């Protein structure tokens, strides 16, 4: 693995000639060299690639079996000069049976041979005619090249610091694949060599199997299947190369290619280990089958580049076909949570502070949906707009439009005079623009919302989002507080996306235009006076940093458990064209400083629904002492300069 915990792997589909073992070995060796040149540490080849899968009754010929063993010896010898571990498919005679096997080769040695556990004997597959099941073969060995080589289904391989397991084709399709046991016993990457012919609709099912098995096993899964050179007497082989990680597809080869393919990707071993640690049910299901491990002492890679797409917005759905369904699901989770709280309390009134900004717009929309679900009159939703010293005409107009056009009840209550009186009471100078000046306005607004809710027997709907909670960008006991926070696990990048989506499906023209303008408005608490043109003078992202960066940091830190150095490495791949390294480090340091310092606000959060895989609820997903030190993380940030 590299220093960030990535293992570069490959699925290879070589050109084969049926029953020509010498030619096949030459192509395998050439592809091993190609893989090594790209920095690959482990490459898997298709099932029985040394002979070709479609040899039929030739598998029972001693000439073919002898040629296959010689080809395996040639590949093993060539591996002395190639810094890559290769897993190749070969028929192996052991005792009185013939097995369909995967041979792991590295550094001039055959590390071990794993026989296929489940041998099909149906439809187009009649492997049972030639091969025996290796499911019961454990703790055995076979002599190759004058040395004993481990042989059995109880073998894993240590490749460049990552523990790897092997299964063969049909093994994946059974109710409990061997890789389920291998993974729970410690294997982090599963290699599958296959020879699966193409039929209508099969590919989609195969992809779902690979994704699902990688998710269940919390592992990387590398799948290589036979291609164009196999016999087409009765079947067509299309050369599938698939690489998945914990349910996500990292790379796919070209189906129906007439040429050789090498599909590569970097699997995040560190993330897989972190994910297994946080799932206590994973360790509850530990395989009772003892496993042997053979290690490959590979030399350092000679080349290669990082081959993995890093999503700059991990919280936001990107596929247009999936966008509507994903946004609708998020919206439904939020509104259902609120509906349940309203039903439990018997409230027929909800109070929302509507500022004309992103968060309050989404909170209002969620509240509208919750009322509709319960069959409540939308007039019971009181949208309160509270103009202050920094309120601009743009946000004010959008706030009023959203409340009025939605059918909710609008109340306008200025906070200016109340705040001036409060400033005089506490002795704050008229021209003071300190944090007291700002927070007093936020607390005045919260007091109004709470009191209006008391007047009408309602509850205050919180508008603060996940990004603000991560950074502590909220006034304690001000906008930090509510009676139910519907946006508490929706980060700012996703809030904007949700508002844009809501605008795209809105039928009311005035509402749609207002939502579109809200989505285009700079994020601001509007607590400082407007500029000379009446525009927003206080822009949040100028103060705390771009939310797209902070959301990326948040996901990498909380969801994936990464340290600052790795987060920086990934951020530069995701945002390298928009931000330079010093800028990313600057905001990364601010993220960690604020995240640790502001935990006390998260420790006092009101209830709210979890939406995605990241939540900072002190009762659920994130339990951190309020006085935890950020020193270790900040020292690493400083070392990155």
Q: What is the mean pLDDT of each run of 10 residues along the chain (641 residues)?
A: 93 96 98 96 98 95 96 97 97 96 97 96 81 95 92 96 96 94 94 92 94 97 94 89 97 92 97 91 73 90 86 88 88 97 97 97 98 98 96 95 98 97 95 94 97 97 97 95 97 96 96 97 85 80 94 97 97 94 97 98 96 94 95 97 80
CA dist., res. 358 & res. 520, Å (int)? 9
- CATH classification at residue 368: 3.40.50.620
Question: 123 in the Ramachandran plot: left (φ > 0), alpha (ψ -120 to 50) or beta?
Answer: left
Q: Which one of the listed residues 8, 21, 47, 347 is annotated catalytic? A: 47
Residue 510 lies in a domain: yes
The confidence score (pLDDT) of residue 40 equals: 96
Q: Specify whether the CB–CB gap between 269 and 3 falls below 8 A.
A: no
Residue 202 lies in a domain: yes
Angstrom CA distances, 501 to 224, 319, 489, stand at: 39, 13, 18
Note whether 271 and 411 are same-domain residues. Answer: no
Residue 314 lies in a domain: no
- Indicate if 47 belongs to the active site: yes
Q: Which one of the listed residues 21, 101, 164, 169 is annotated catalytic? A: 169
- Indicate if 404 belongs to the active site: no
Residue 313 lies in a domain: no
The confidence score (pLDDT) of residue 205 equals: 94
Note whether 53 and 149 are same-domain residues. Answer: yes
CA dist., res. 470 & res. 362, Å (int)? 19
Which residues neighbour 105 within 8 Å (Cβ) at sequence distance 6 or greater?
Answer: 72, 75, 76, 79, 85, 86, 87, 88, 111
Residue 258 lies in a domain: yes
The pTM of this model reads 0.92
Note whether 527 and 625 are same-domain residues. Answer: yes
Q: Which one of the listed residues 116, 492, 566, 601 is annotated catalytic? A: 116
Residue 312 lies in a domain: no
- Indicate if 63 belongs to the active site: no
Structural domains in the chain (count):
2
Q: Cα dihedral angle (472, 473, 477, 481), rounded to 10 degrees?
A: -90
What's the domain range around 30?
Answer: 6-292
The confidence score (pLDDT) of residue 235 equals: 86
Note whether 16 and 107 are same-domain residues. Answer: yes
Question: How many residues appear in the chain?
Answer: 641
Q: How many helices (H) and strands (E) does the chain have?
A: 20, 22
Q: b/e for 178-189, b at 16 or more Cβ within 10 A?
A: bbbbbbbbbbbb
Q: Specify whether the CB–CB gap between 352 and 463 falls below 8 A.
A: yes
């Amino acid at each position: 693995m590299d220093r960030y915990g990535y293992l570069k792997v490959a699925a290879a589909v070589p050109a084969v000639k049926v029953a020509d073992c010498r030619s096949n070995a030459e192509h395998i060796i050439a592809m091993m060299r190609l893989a090594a040149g790209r920095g690959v540490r482990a490459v898997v080849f298709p099932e029985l690639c040394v002979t070709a899968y479609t040899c039929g009754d030739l598998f029972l010929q001693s000439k073919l079996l002898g040629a296959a063993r010689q080809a395996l010896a040639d590949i093993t010898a060539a591996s002395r000069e190639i810094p890559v571990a290769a897993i190749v498919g070969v028929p192996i005679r052991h005792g009185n049976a013939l097995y369909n096997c995967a041979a792991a080769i590295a550094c001039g040695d055959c590390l071990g041979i794993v026989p296929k556990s489940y041998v099909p004997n149906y439809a187009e597959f009649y492997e049972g005619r030639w091969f025996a099941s290796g499911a019961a073969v454990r703790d055995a060995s076979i002599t190759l090249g004058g040395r004993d080589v481990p042989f059995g289904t109880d073998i894993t391989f240590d490749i460049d610091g990552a523990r790897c397991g092997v299964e063969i084709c049909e093994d994946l399709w059974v109710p409990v694949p061997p890789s389920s046991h291998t993974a729970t016993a410690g294997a982090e990457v599963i290699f599958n060599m296959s020879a699966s012919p193409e039929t209508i609709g099969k590919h989609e099912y195969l992809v779902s199997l690979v994704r699902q098995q990688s998710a269940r096993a919390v592992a990387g899964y590398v799948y290589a299947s036979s291609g164009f050179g196999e016999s087409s007497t009765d079947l067509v082989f299309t050369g599938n190369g698939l690489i998945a990680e914990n349910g996500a597809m990292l790379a796919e080869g070209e189906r129906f290619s007439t040429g050789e393919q090498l599909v590569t990707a970097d699997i995040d071993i560190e993330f897989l280990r972190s994910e297994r640690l946080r799932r206590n049910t994973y360790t509850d299901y530990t395989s009772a089958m003892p496993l042997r491990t053979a290690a490959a002492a590979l030399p350092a890679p000679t080349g290669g580049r990082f081959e993995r797409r890093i999503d700059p917005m991990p919280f936001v759905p990107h596929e247009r076909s999936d966008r509507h369904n994903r946004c609708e699901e998020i919206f439904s989770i939020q509104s259902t949570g609120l509906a349940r709280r309203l039903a439990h309390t018997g409230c027929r009134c909800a109070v929302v502070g509507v500022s004309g900004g992103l968060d309050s717009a989404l909170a209002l929309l969620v509240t509208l949906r919750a009322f509709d679900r319960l069959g409540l009159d939308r007039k019971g939703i009181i949208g309160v707009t509270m103009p202050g010293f920094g309120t601009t005409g743009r946000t004010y107009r959008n706030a009023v439009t959203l409340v009025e056009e939605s059918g909710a009840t609008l109340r306008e209550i200025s906070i200016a005079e109340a705040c001036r009186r409060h400033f005089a009471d506490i002795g704050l100078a008229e021209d003071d623009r300190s944090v007291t000046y700002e927070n007093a306005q936020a607390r005045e607004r919260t007091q109004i919302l709470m009191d209006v809710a008391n007047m009408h027997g309602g509850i205050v709907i919180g508008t603060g989002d996940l990004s603000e909670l991560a950074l502590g960008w909220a006034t304690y006991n001000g906008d930090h507080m509510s009676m139910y926070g519907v946006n508490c696990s929706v980060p700012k990048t996703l809030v904007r996306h949700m508002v844009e989506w809501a605008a795209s499906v809105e039928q009311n023209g005035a509402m749609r235009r207002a939502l579109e303008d809200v989505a285009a408005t700079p994020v601001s608490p509007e607590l400082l006076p407007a500029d000379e043109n009446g525009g927003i003078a206080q822009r949040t992202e100028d103060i705390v940093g771009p939310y797209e960066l902070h959301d990326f940091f948040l996901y990498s830190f909380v969801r994936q458990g990464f340290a600052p150095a790795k987060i920086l490495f990934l951020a530069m791949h995701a945002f390298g064209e928009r931000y330079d390294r010093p800028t990313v480090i600057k905001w990364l340091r601010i993220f960690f400083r604020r995240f640790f310092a502001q935990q006390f606000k998260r420790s006092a959060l009101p209830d709210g629904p979890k939406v995605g895989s990241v939540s900072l609820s002190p009762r659920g997903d994130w339990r951190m002492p309020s006085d935890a030190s950020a020193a270790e993380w900040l020292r690493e940030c400083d070392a990155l300069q």
